[in-house]
A and B are shown apart, each in its own frame.
Chain A
Amino acid sequence: MRISKFEHYSRNIIVLVVLTFFLLPIVWLLTTAFKLPRDLITVPPVWLGFTPSLVNFDFAINKVNALRFISNSVIISGGTTIASLVLGTLGGYAVARSRLKIVSISSYFFLVLLMIPPVAMLVPFYLLMRDLQLLGTHAAVIILSTCYNAPFVVWLMSRYFASVPAELEEAALVDGTSPFGAFLRVMLPLSIPGLVAAALYCIIFSWNDFIFALLLTNPATKTIPLGIMATFSVSNLSWGNMAALSVFAVLPVLIIAVVLNKYFVQGMTAGATKG
C-alpha cells in the first residue's frame, strides 16, 4: 500500500502527539519526585529547569519507612504470583486438553468469578479473616489475590496451551511418559512465553492492588499503595513525597513491563486472535 510522504509524516506527528498524551503524566511523576518543594508549585509549570534533589526520597525512606512497604509488596506480590501460576497453569492445561464436560463447565465457572466485583467478596472475606485471626497478615491478602488471579491465569494458559498441537504430547505418551510427565517435559518448556506473560500479569495485578490491602492489612503489613495514601492524607499534602513513593510503586513493574514487553504483549493476546 503506497502511502504519500505527507501521510507518512502526518502519521508520525499524530503518533508523537498520542505518545505525549500517554507519557506526560509519567514524566510529570518522575520529575516531581526529584523536585524541591518550592519547585512544585511554580506557575507556569517547569519541566526541565529545576535543581534536582533527593529530599523527597530521603523523606520516603527515613520518615515514612518506604522500605517496609516495599518488602510487604514484594512478599504479597511474590506469594500471589507463585500461587496463581501453580494453580492456574495446572488448571489451564486441564481445561485445554480435557474432553470431559465437567472441565468445560468449570472454565465457565472461572469466567463468572472474574466478573465478581471485589467489593462483593470483601465484606464477608474480611469477616472470615477476622474470625480466623488472619486479619493483618500477608497471607490474607495473598489468599484473596490468588483467588482473583488464578482464574485469569487458567484462562490465559488454556488458550495458550490450546494453540500448541496435541500431537507433541501424544507422541510423548506413546513413548511411555505419564500424562503429567508429558505436561512437564513437553508442554511447559514450550510455554515459557505464556508463563512469563501470566507471571507478569499476576505481578502487576498484585503489586498495584489497593483495595485488598486497604481492608486486610495492618500498619505492619501495609503495601506501597497504602503507604502512599497514608502519607498523603496524614502529613502535609506534599506532592513531592507522594511522587517519590509512587516512583517506588511504579518503577519495578515499569522496568519489567518494558523489558519483557514482547512477552507482555504475547501473553495478553495469546489465543485472543484465535477467537
Chain B
Amino acid sequence: MSQVVLSQPQVKTARRRINNRERTLLLMLAPIVLFVAAVSLYPLLNAFALSLTEYKLTDPNQTRTFIGFQNYIDAFNDPAVTETLLNTGVFVVGSVVSQVLLGMALAVLMSAESRFMRIVRGLAVIPMAIPPLVVGLVWKALLNGDFGPVAYYLKLIGINPPRGFLGELNLALPTIILIDLWQWTPLLMVIFLAGLKSLPTEINEAAYVDGASRWQAFTRITLPMLAPIIFIGVLLRTMNAFKIFDVIYVSTGGGPGNATAVLNFYIYKVGLTFFDMGYAAALANILLVMIGVCCAVYIILLERQKNSNS
C-alpha cells in the first residue's frame, strides 16, 4: 500500500468530517434521551422517595410521613407479598419455558415453504394483535362453566372443575399461563422461524450424509446455532411476563384470594384500590429490582456466549 501523506488542511477536514458526523448523530439521539429522561426520571425518583414515606391517596390532608424503609420491611413480612412473589415466579418461569418450547416446536412444524404454510403462518400471528384485555374476556367466556364452549367440550371428556378453571385455587394460575401461552407463543414461533431460515443448511446436509438422524441433527447442530435467538426470545418474553396485567385484571381480578395475583397486579391493587401509595411504590421498586436482576443475568449470559462463539 502506498504511503499517502495528507497535507495539513486535508487532515483537518478528515477529522472534522468525523466529528461533524458524530455531532449530528448526537443531536439525533438527543431528543429521545431528553424526552425519556424528562418523562421517566422525575416519576422514578419520585417513586423511590414515595416508597420511603407513608402516603394514602385518600388522605384529605395528603400527608406524606417519612418512615424510612418501613415499607420494605412490611413487604417482606407480608404473607400476601410472599404469595405474590411465588405466583410471579411460577408464572414467569412457567409461561416463558412453555412458550419457548412450544414456539420452537411450532417453528419447526411450520417451517416448510408452501402456500399452505405461508397462509397458516399468517393466521397464526393473529393472537398477538388482540388486546390482552379482550383475550382475557374471551377466555373467561370460553371457560365459563355454564355456556363456555371450551368448558363444554372439556366436560364431555370428563374435565369439570366445580368452581370453573379460573375459580379453582390450583387451576387458576395454570389457566392464566395457558391464556398467555395462547397469545404469545406465535411471537416466539415467528422469531425462531426467522432464525431457522437464516441458518446455513450445508452443515445439516453433511450430518445427514454422515448418518445422523434428524433429531440428532436438530439437537446437536441446529439448536446450538439458534442459541442467540433463543436467548433474545427468552429475554423478550421474560421482560413482558413480569408485566402481565390486563388478562388477570379482567378474568380473575387476582383471585381466587390472591392465587393469580402476580406482583405487578398486586402493586396495582395496593396502590389504586387500597390507595396505599407509599407501600405500592416500595413493592414496585422490589419488582423493578427483580426484573433488573433477571435481565442482567440473561444479558451477561448472552454476552458470554457471544464471546465464546467469536
Of the listed stretches B2-10, B22-30, B67-75, name the one at the interface; the rest are far from the partner chain: B22-30
The reply to whether B191 and A25 form a contact with Cβ atoms under 8 Å apart is: no
Q: Which interface residue of A45, A178, A232, A273 has the most chain B CB atoms within 10 A?
A: A273
A48 close to chain B: CB less than 8 A: no
Contacts A1-B214, A106-B33, A211-B245 given; does A113 touch B133 at CB 8 Å: no
Contact with A along B124-159 (1 / 0, CB 8 A): 111111111111011101100011111010000000
Cα of A266 to Cα of B118 in the assembled complex, Å: 14
B82 close to chain A: CB less than 8 A: no
Chain B interface secondary structure, helix, strand, loop or mixed? Answer: helix
The reply to whether B277 and A123 form a contact with Cβ atoms under 8 Å apart is: yes
Q: Smallest distance from the beta carbon of A139 to chain B beta carbons, Å?
A: 12
B106 close to chain A: CB less than 8 A: yes
Cα of A151 to Cα of B13 in the assembled complex, Å: 34
The reply to whether B288 and A123 form a contact with Cβ atoms under 8 Å apart is: no
A275 close to chain B: CB less than 8 A: yes
Contacts A125-B43, A210-B245 given; does A269 touch B194 at CB 8 Å: yes
B216 close to chain A: CB less than 8 A: no
Partner of A225, one of B112, B131, B187, B214: B131
The reply to whether B28 and A180 form a contact with Cβ atoms under 8 Å apart is: yes
Q: Smallest distance from the beta carbon of A250 to chain B beta carbons, Å?
A: 5
B96 close to chain A: CB less than 8 A: no
Partner of B47, one of A123, A183, A257: A123
Contact with A along B260-290 (1 / 0, CB 8 A): 0000100110011000010011001101100
The reply to whether A128 and B42 form a contact with Cβ atoms under 8 Å apart is: yes
Cα of A67 to Cα of B152 in the assembled complex, Å: 35
B170 close to chain A: CB less than 8 A: no
A window 177-212: CB within 8 A of B: 178-180, 183, 204, 207-211
Contact with A along B282-310 (1 / 0, CB 8 A): 00110110011001000100000010000
Cα of A74 to Cα of B197 in the assembled complex, Å: 36
A9 close to chain B: CB less than 8 A: no
The reply to whether B239 and A115 form a contact with Cβ atoms under 8 Å apart is: yes
Partner of A249, one of B31, B134, B277, B285: B134
Q: Which interface residue of B26, B138, B242 has the most chain A CB atoms within 10 A?
A: B138
A6 close to chain B: CB less than 8 A: no
Return chain A residues, CB-CB under 8 Å to B254. none
A147 close to chain B: CB less than 8 A: yes
B164 close to chain A: CB less than 8 A: no
Contacts A25-B142, A120-B285, A124-B46 given; does A114 touch B29 at CB 8 Å: no
Contacts A114-B239, A207-B131, A208-B130 given; does A99 touch B22 at CB 8 Å: yes
Return chain A residues, CB-CB under 8 Å to B187. 268
Contact with B along A54-93 (1 / 0, CB 8 A): 0000000000000000000000000000000011101101
Cα of A80 to Cα of B101 in the assembled complex, Å: 34
Cα of A53 to Cα of B68 in the assembled complex, Å: 60
B39 close to chain A: CB less than 8 A: yes
Q: Smallest distance from the beta carbon of A249 to chain B beta carbons, Å?
A: 5
Cα of A84 to Cα of B185 in the assembled complex, Å: 26
Q: Smallest distance from the beta carbon of B287 to chain A beta carbons, Å?
A: 6
Cα of A224 to Cα of B123 in the assembled complex, Å: 24
Contacts A128-B46, A272-B191, A273-B195 given; does A12 touch B129 at CB 8 Å: no
B208 close to chain A: CB less than 8 A: yes
The reply to whether B47 and A120 form a contact with Cβ atoms under 8 Å apart is: yes
Cα of A162 to Cα of B116 in the assembled complex, Å: 33
A36 close to chain B: CB less than 8 A: no
Return chain A residues, CB-CB under 8 Å to B182. 21-22, 25
Return chain A residues, CB-CB under 8 Å to B43. 121, 124-125, 128
Cα of A216 to Cα of B228 in the assembled complex, Å: 38
Q: Smallest distance from the beta carbon of A4 to chain B beta carbons, Å?
A: 12
The reply to whether A98 and B291 form a contact with Cβ atoms under 8 Å apart is: no
Q: Smallest distance from the beta carbon of A118 to chain B beta carbons, Å?
A: 6
Q: Smallest distance from the beta carbon of B41 to chain A beta carbons, Å?
A: 10
The reply to whether B129 and A254 form a contact with Cβ atoms under 8 Å apart is: yes
The 10 closest A-B CB pairs, nearest first, are: A275-B228, A269-B194, A120-B284, A124-B43, A208-B131, A94-B29, A179-B24, A87-B32, A124-B46, A91-B32
What are 23 A-B contacts with C-beta separation under 8 Å?
A1-B208, A14-B109, A19-B123, A22-B123, A22-B126, A24-B150, A43-B146, A88-B32, A90-B28, A94-B26, A115-B292, A117-B267, A120-B47, A123-B280, A124-B43, A125-B39, A147-B40, A173-B21, A208-B131, A256-B129, A265-B121, A272-B194, A273-B197
Beyond the given A26-B130, A246-B131, A253-B129, please list 9 additional residue pairs across the A-B interface where CB-CB is below 8 A: A15-B109, A110-B36, A112-B292, A120-B285, A123-B47, A123-B272, A179-B24, A257-B126, A265-B194
